[in-house]
Structure formats: C-alpha cells, structure tokens
Structure 1
C-alpha cells in the first residue's frame, strides 16, 4: 500500500509540475487554457474554475494542458444554421445555443447568414418572425457555445495559441520540461536541508559502530590527508584505496583539532557481485551550512543531467539496450524498492525521475515538447509557420510510435518482474 501511495504522489508531482509550467506561461501569454489534465482517457474527476476545467483522468501515463486553437474548439456555425442566442447586460451575445434550445428562456431564434467568432465577433442573420430584416449581433469575448448541454467558451484570435509571438509560444512549450528541472532542484535542496550536503573532501562523517574505522580510532570530523603516503584529496580517493585493500593494514594520516595523526586501519573484507572489496564503515561528512545547502539542488541537478545525457549517448551508439529502459511498471517496481529505504531516498528518486522526464520531453521527437520546439526553430528560419495539418500529422505519427514503444517497454517490464 505504501508503494502505491508513493507511486501516485511521485507520478502526480512529476506530471503536475510539468503541466503547471505549460499552464503558467500560457496564462502569462494571454492564451485561453481550456483544460488542465492529469492522465489520459475518461475523466474520473472534474472541476471548473474560471475559464479552465481541471481534470484527473483514468490512465496515469502523462497529462496535458489544452489551449485554445490547438484543436477544433467549438462547432463551426455555418450559413443556414438555426441557433438561439442570449444577451448580457450590455446587449452583446453571451450564449449561442446550438441544440436543446427549448431549455433556455428569453432567447432569440436566428437563422445565420454569417458568423465570425474569432476576429470581428459578430453573428449576422434573420430573427425568427422578422425574416425581411438582416441584423448583426455583437458577440461578447466571453460568450459560450452550447451543444448537447455542454458549454464551450469562444476563443477570440488573440486568446489562441497560434496568435502569439514565436517567443511566447516557444516559452509556453519549453516551460513544461523547465518546471521538471525546477522540481528536481527543489527535491535535492530539501534533501540538503534535512540531512546536509556530502563534502567532496575526505572529511569523515558518521563512523559506524563495530566498524574497522571505529575499532582503529577514527572519529567524525577527521580530515584524511593521505593513506600509506598516497595523497588523498577527495572522499572518493579514500574509498577507492580502501576498496582495493581488504584485510590489509593501511596507515591513515589525518588532521584532527589542528594536529596530524597516523592511525593504522585494516579494512574488512566484503563480498560483492563484482568481487571482494574493503570497507572501513564511514560516511561522507554532511555540511548543513547555508552556502552549501543553497547550491546543492542546482549542483545535484546538473550532475544527474550530465549522467542521463551520457546514458542517452550510449543508447545512440548501441551500448545501451532498449531492454534496459523502463516504463510505468518498471518505475513502480523501482519505487517499491526505494520506498523501503525511506523518505530521503524517495525524494532523491523524485528528483531523478523529474530530470529524466524533463530531458525526454526536450528530445526533438514528434509529439513531445522537443518536437514542437523543433518546428518552432524551423519557423524561425523560414519566417513563417509550417502548415498546421502537416505538423499535426507528424505529431500524430510520432505519438503513435511512442505508444508502440511504451507498450514494448511495459511488456519487457512485465516479463522481467512478473514472468521470468
């Protein structure tokens, strides 16, 4: 049960922050956001506030922010259509009823001669009972179209995604991955605040009880200068030497309270899958100073971003198999193992997944944010946008291929964790 809760919280945070980035910058650009959704498929929860419907959907494989103009938003009102219209206090049309007209009192029935709900915002037609006089009705910018009792707000051209400057559109798309990196920075910073930041220098932190270090007399705060005369500059230098010498006495030269001491230590032999190694039972020193904690989130995020790019490079050159990729099932199983280690490990896992999601979405693959940014780049070079239908087809094909890849990866996860 703890795994399920942990997975839901982590997945929800990743998707929420990603879509929040799109949402905030769409709003800043003046774009009408119709829906903020977590998940895909049928709605299981829906709440409308202002212009936006906030939904949770059945399939936990992502989320989306639906912006005006990206898809067919409202039914087209063509000449000859018979509609009902209602007016606001300023005598502008604020409700256009296409079906179920008898449900609405105090409406005018109009046969449409022409309608423009994007630019000039008017409906021109003949009112029922007065077919000899062509009338023009001004439409409110916040008017809604009603069809099958569903109300959809109209989107004047300046509220649509495509109407915005290239820079604003690009920033709206880029903001999703950006907020995933922000989430990672927050997660790693919180870890630093709670437990402190491991120092690179070879300063000893917690000395484990009944360990070789404790038996030899090493203490927390000791700074290791050298081992058997070999200079030690980092904690990694120290552990590398120790691991290579199990059951061999090593002389640690340490600085303690301004004094230099030579302390013999014999690492205990430990069997690992890769062979036998030596361990002395010390942890890196954890610094909780403001200067260290303040930058720890940025440093860790940068470090793991580079690591993930290195893995992607191995995938490109064939040193990293697709069988090593994980989908939702694999992430769930990994979350199960991480959850056993405690809240700090879950926070780190959240940071790693968030970086991974941010990077994946920035790849120039159709249907992903990176694919859309690539089209914006082409638009900047050409000086005009690519045909929307052609771009939409490319994204559709890309989305279909991504779904196939997800199915393959998920099946591999099922075989790895539940069948083999």
Structure 2
C-alpha cells in the first residue's frame, strides 16, 4: 500500500504538470501557425519518440521508435504536412520546434525572420493559454458549487479609502434550476442573513445548520441582490439530492 501511495504521489503531480506544460506549448503552437511560422515538431512529452504522425500526399505516415514507420495509403492530404505530431516516452510537458528558433535562418517562414511583434505574440501565447485554462477550471469548480460561496465585504470608513474593515458574508453564487431553492424563489447574488433565526456569516455555519435539518423545511432570511428589501423563504433540505447538487 505504501509503495502504491508513493507511486501515486509521484505520478499524479507529474501528469498534472505535464498537462499544464503541454497546454502552454499548445499556445505557442497555435500562435506560430497563425504567424505562418514553419513548425517542424509538436510533441507531448520528452525523450525518445513512442509514436509520431505525419501527413503526406502519398498517405498518412506513422513513425515508431528506432526509425521504424509505416504508411496508411488510404489517408492522403493535398500537400505534405510540415509538422510531425509526436508522443514521447516521458509525459512531462511537451515542446514546439520551429524553424529558426535556435539560430537565424534565411527563410521568410522561419521564427527568426518574423517581425518582433509576431515573435512576441508567439512567446506570450503560452502564458495566455495557461490563463484561459485557469479561468475555465475556476468556472467549472464554481459552477459545481451546490449553493453558496463566500466573498469579502469592504466597508469604507472615509472618502480617502484609507481605513477599511473586511468581514465575511454568505452570497448565493448560483441556484440550480428546479431545486428547492429555485422553487422557493431564491436567486443568485442574494445574501443569506439567517437560517431558522440563526445568523450565518460563513459557508461552514450555513452548512452546519442545513446538515442538522436535513429532511425539514428551513426558514431562510436573505437580503435581495437587486433591492434593499429583506425576504424570507421556506426551503426544503432534501435528504437525497441528485448527484452534483446540494440539499437545497
């Protein structure tokens, strides 16, 4: 069991880091193609080639280790591909190999021959792809939150914005359609003030009250997001909610 745990603790982070680097390199690849730079190789992983793919007018060439290859003649393209797509032995990231990347080449499609602006776009494209991935994952995590999220509240003491006081409040981030909360009338961005008369200021406080009242109707007092009115709702806490949803 310990060996399996150690093995997993090494493999899982390696795969995750590999995917992050691969996404980063994919950004370089897309930007280079858009800039009409000749991309000679686009690889996942490092080390010896496990398998490579290369499209030609004579067929689809599959390249194997030890310089072995075979061709599928039924799959053809109008012109030879300039890029070999590879999967290498060690799944730790990947790389993009561009013509003229390491040294200046007298070719209009080389990286070194492109204007500074296009080269800059190719360089920053990797970072942009990582930022887009982070935003996408954040959205997925937020979209799967069952009921609430915590956001800070900033109370300004004076007009110079010098003194501030930060507290926490419970804000509904999303309401699942046809859930008890939706049927009761709760809306996204409503602020939860209390449950069954008990004030709540954190997500854990709310969860404790809900867990203690599973199978019962909970009286929820909220501050509406689109007005100064306070509203009270009766929301049933389901004992067996659908997968991926909360009790309410």
Question: What band does the TM-score fall into relative to the shorter chain?
Answer: 0.3 to 0.5
More helix by share: 1
Look at both structures and tell me which one has the larger radius of gyration over its CA atoms. 1
The normalised TM-score by structure 2 is 0.48
